[in-house]
Amino acid sequence: GENVEQHPSTLSVQEGDSAVIKCTYSDSASNYFPWYKQELGKGPQLIIDIRSNVGEKKDQRIAVTLNKTAKHFSLHITETQPEDSAVYFCAATQGGAQKLVFGQGTRLTINP
């Protein structure tokens, strides 16, 4: 089955700097890769996703890149702000199915 590894587990950056979170996956048939943000006491919320027919996607300060050959994808947040502090999860589909397999999460802290 699919295995998703996420690094780092914690990340602390100065406000205004960039943050990068990386994930690898094992199932070459995976075709959908969402990123979720989870704030304390709330359910995860989708912030960006990418499908296997695209190498990069950008939405304002957030971008995701996908390298299908190496089976890894990354989240990039630029010009970080205090409200970006949260736990971020990457996920990948198990093959072409609907089921998502999640990484272990990255606790991102933005220092003012």
The site for another protein (CB under 8 A) is made up of 6, 31-32, 34, 36, 41-46, 49, 51-53, 89, 91, 93, 96-105
Please say which residue, 14 or 40, places its beta carbon nearer to another protein: 40
Q: Which two tokens stand for residue 90?
A: 């990457």
Would you give the distance in Å from CA 27 to the centre of its chain?
17
Question: What phi, psi does 82 have (nearest 5°)?
Answer: -55, -35
Tell the smallest beta-carbon distance from residue 16 to another protein (Å): 28
State in angstroms the smallest separation of the CB of 112 from another protein: 24
User: What separation, in Å, do the N-terminal and C-terminal C-alpha atoms of the chain show?
Assistant: 41
Smallest separation, CB 9 to another protein (Å): 9
